[in-house]
């Protein structure tokens, strides 16, 4: 049987998180607003109005282009993309065609299997979004709120080889968009939309077969499922001796099936021409430098630096750089702590991350500051408090916003490392539990943990656990 490989390219639409729309001053994000409340004559395309370009759109798009290693065009143009659809009131979309803001570039995808796939970027341009239609009770309803919302369209080369790589691309892109602060990149809210072009060929062949385009997938899992299902369909068709037609397919999330929408249009159908109402976008060196001064260290570079500078294992470095805020928090805590960065990493991965997830907040919203976290770790290192008191302190500091050492002092949480105090408690517990002492002595040594627990309970968790253990072992051996 022939072995096949998949050739996949992705086209993503990224909603930039500007306050206002691309060509008017209407509010850009309408997720929580009723239909048709953030509209004006410009974004609904009434006759006689003139669009005015929002500077922030260009700045965010330039940041993204730089992060994708794309070439910026100092001069780029807007074009009209003509098509008729009820949710496009002007009858055309303002987009960029042949002279887009940027071109070329790439993103590297470190795959869980250990290899890295480099995905080339064909084209990166800015455009306005169209409205939304939905069918309800036999009527077609149109919401113009989304008209004029700023988008970046980014098209990859046919470089992806599996549904998993496509999913990884979206994961890394979403991470990057949030890292740069240019988009919320929430697929469920349509901030990041993806169409996938899929074809197959015998493994090792160097030609391209006709491709199909999958539209309307709105989660990373759905993209993976839809592409896998389309690869399987194309292999089935090819094996049965049928040809693959260049269809556009629609993914139905509920049934997990692809439906044929239409035979695909070509670019020529859009009758592009230059937008006469807008000046070209001119990015001179001064403006470009000013924008790029905001470009942060990128996630993969920071991950690599964490491995080298802090000698973190790959797993830690990956987890701590999923979000920019988290990696900033980590670095601040390491600096405040001054000791082994791996200690800080452990506390973060085991406890701080869980707190953040449970509370559903960002690291920046924690009242447990990186400095307070460092202080708690130092208190544990110095044996002033034991580990479990330290862990309990994390939540206490977040709730009260007070310094850990103050809380320790006020609540008398300091660990009891006083040999005599622990001995007295152990003595009392052994006397009160002769049966357990007997079982222990006749070989059931696992009871030691139970005795430690009794001591801890009596001493309200403040006993030094190591000391407790050795005192118990000694006194039980008598």
Residues binding Zn ion (CB under 5 A): 24, 26, 40, 42-43
Could you tell me if 207 and 236 are in contact, meaning their C-beta atoms sit under 8 angstroms apart?
no
> Nearer Cβ to Zn ion, position 40 or 452?
40
* Best CA proximity match to 156, nearest among 140, 171, 169: 169
Counted residue by residue, the chain has a size of 478
Helix (H, G, I), strand (E, B) or coil at 102: strand
Kindly state the smallest distance separating residue 45's Cβ from Zn ion, in Å: 10
Least Cβ distance, residue 370 to Zn ion (angstroms): 42
Q: Strand, helix or coil at 306?
A: helix
Q: Which of 67/126 has CB closer to Zn ion?
A: 126
List Cβ neighbours of 399 (8 Å cut-off, separation of 6 or more).
367
166 close to 109: Cβ distance less than 8 angstroms: no
**Least distance between Zn ion and beta carbon 131 (Å):** 12
Say if residues 156 and 119 touch (Cβ distance below 8 Å): yes
CB of 144 to Zn ion, least distance (A): 9
For residue 356, what are the contacts with CB-CB under 8 A and spacing of at least 6?
326, 362, 363, 366
Min dist CB 405 to Zn ion, Å, is 54
User: Is 66 within 8 Å of 288 (Cβ atoms)?
Assistant: no
Q: How far is the C-alpha of 81 from the C-alpha of 98, rounded, in Å?
A: 12
Nearer to Zn ion, 150 or 158 (CB): 150
Phi-psi region of 186 (alpha: psi -120 to 50; beta: other; left: phi over 0): beta
Shortest spacing between CB 16 and Zn ion, in angstroms: 16
Name the residue nearer to Zn ion (CB basis): 47 or 114.
Answer: 47
CB of 34 to Zn ion, least distance (A): 16
DSSP for 319-355, please give it: HHTSSHHHHHHHHHHHHHH-S-HHHHHHHIIIIIHHH
Closer residue to Zn ion (CB): 31 or 450: 31
If the CB atoms of residues 41 and 74 are measured against Zn ion, the closer one turns out to be 41
C-beta closer to Zn ion: residue 26 or 298:
26
Question: Least separation, in Å, of the C-beta of 21 and Zn ion?
Answer: 5
Complex with Zn ion: residue 24 or 130, whichever CB lies closer: 24
Question: Taking the complex as a whole, how short is the minimal distance between the CB of residue 20 and Zn ion, in angstroms?
Answer: 8
Question: Residues 6 or more apart from 428 whose CB is under 8 A from it?
Answer: 458
Which alpha helices (H) appear in 141-278, and where do they start and end?
Answer: 163-180, 220-239
H/E run at residue 301: helix 299-309
- Beta pairing class for 71-72 and 102-103: antiparallel
10 Å Cβ neighbour count for 403?
15
Q: Which is nearer to Zn ion, 103 or 144 (CB)?
A: 144
Residue 48 zone, left/alpha/beta (φ > 0; ψ -120 to 50; rest): left
CB of 17 to Zn ion, least distance (A): 17
Three-state DSSP at 128 gives: strand
């Amino acid at each position: 049987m022939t072995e096949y490989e998949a050739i996949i390219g992705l086209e993503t639409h990224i909603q930039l998180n500007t306050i206002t729309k691309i060509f008017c001053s209407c509010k850009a994000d309408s997720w929580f607003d009723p239909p048709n409340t953030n509209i004006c004559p410009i974004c609904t395309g009434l006759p006689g109005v003139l669009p005015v370009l929002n500077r922030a759109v260009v700045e965010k798009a330039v940041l993204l282009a730089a992060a994708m290693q794309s070439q910026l065009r100092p001069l780029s143009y807007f074009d009209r993309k003509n098509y008729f659809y009820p949710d496009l009131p002007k009858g055309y979309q303002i987009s960029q065609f042949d002279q887009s803001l940027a071109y070329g570039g790439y993103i590297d995808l470190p795959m869980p299997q250990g290899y890295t796939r480099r995905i080339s970027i064909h084209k990166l341009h800015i455009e306005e979004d169209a409205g939304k239609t939905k069918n309800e009770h036999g009527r077609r309803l149109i919401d113009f709120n989304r008209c004029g919302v700023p988008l970046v369209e980014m098209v990859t080369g046919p470089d992806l080889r599996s549904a998993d790589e496509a999913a990884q691309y979206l994961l890394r892109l979403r991470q990057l968009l949030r890292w740069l602060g240019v988009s919320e990149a929430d697929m469920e809210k349509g901030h990041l939309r993806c169409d996938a072009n899929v074809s197959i060929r015998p493994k090792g062949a160097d030609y391209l077969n006709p491709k199909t385009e999958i539209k309307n997938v709105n989660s990373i899992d759905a993209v993976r499922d839809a592409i896998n299902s389309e690869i399987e369909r194309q292999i089935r068709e090819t094996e049965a001796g049928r040809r693959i037609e260049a269809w556009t397919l629609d993914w139905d999330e509920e049934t997990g099936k692809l439906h044929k929408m239409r035979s695909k249009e070509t670019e020529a159908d859009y009758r592009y021409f230059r937008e006469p109402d807008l000046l070209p976008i001119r990015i001179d060196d001064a403006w470009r430098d000013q924008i790029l001064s905001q470009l942060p260290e990128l996630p993969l570079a920071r991950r690599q630096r964490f491995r080298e500078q802090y000698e973190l294992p790959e797993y830690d470095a990956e987890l701590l750089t999923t979000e920019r805020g988290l990696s900033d928090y980590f670095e601040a805590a390491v600096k405040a702590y001054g000791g082994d960065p791996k200690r800080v990493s452990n506390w973060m991965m085991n406890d701080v991350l869980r707190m953040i997830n449970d509370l559903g907040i960002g690291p920046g919203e924690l009242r447990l500051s990186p400095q307070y976290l460092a202080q708690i770790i130092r208190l544990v290192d110095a044996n002033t408090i034991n580990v479990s008191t330290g862990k309990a302190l994390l939540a206490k500091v977040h709730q009260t916003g007070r310094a850990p050492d103050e809380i320790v002092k006020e609540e008398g949480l300091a660990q009891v490392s006083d040999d005599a105090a622990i001995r007295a408690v152990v003595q009392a517990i052994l006397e009160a539990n002769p049966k357990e002492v007997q079982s222990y002595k006749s070989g059931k040594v696992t009871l030691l943990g139970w005795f430690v627990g009794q001591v801890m309970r009596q001493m309200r968790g403040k006993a030094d656990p190591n000391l407790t253990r050795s005192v118990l072992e000694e006194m039980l051996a008598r």
